Structure 1
Amino acid sequence: MKGYIGVTSREWFTYLSIKDGINEVNFWRKNTANFNVLTQGDPFFFLVKNEKGVKGERAVLGKGTFVRFEVLKVNEAWDK
């Protein structure tokens, strides 16, 4: 089985983890080239980056299921 590890901030991960009823989240990337690493149903792991040098901070803390890839403008991504 394949999967993908997406690096994210502690703030974004915390925000998502405390929201009730979330069934879909956006994960933004700088590179807008086609994301063909995953297919629908593959696991997507959230790795929290170690921004403040906290010991043990860089860890996979969440998992989702990949649904689709879309190229969006920044404001479109935030609106979704």
Structure 2
Amino acid sequence: MLRRVAFRLSDDWHEAEDLVQRTLLALHRHWDGLDRRDRAEAYARQIMRRLLISDRRSLRWSREVLSGAPPDAA
């Protein structure tokens, strides 16, 4: 179920699998603090959306590291 939701959000199966793994890790870390465990799936979907948004924001603001000398201005 979570894998299909992740795929709908990301449109990439590989990214969806990574997103599900990271979501389950985050859910595990916060499991003791969950008020209603019957709503764990909804909580997991919310975590998934927030992780994806965070990933997309970080990609937009990432910088490239260039190696080597810059080309000569002729």
TM-score by length of 1: 0.25
Q: Which has the higher strand share?
A: 1
Q: Which has the higher contact order (CA 8 A, sep 6+)?
A: 1
Q: Which has the higher helix share?
A: 2
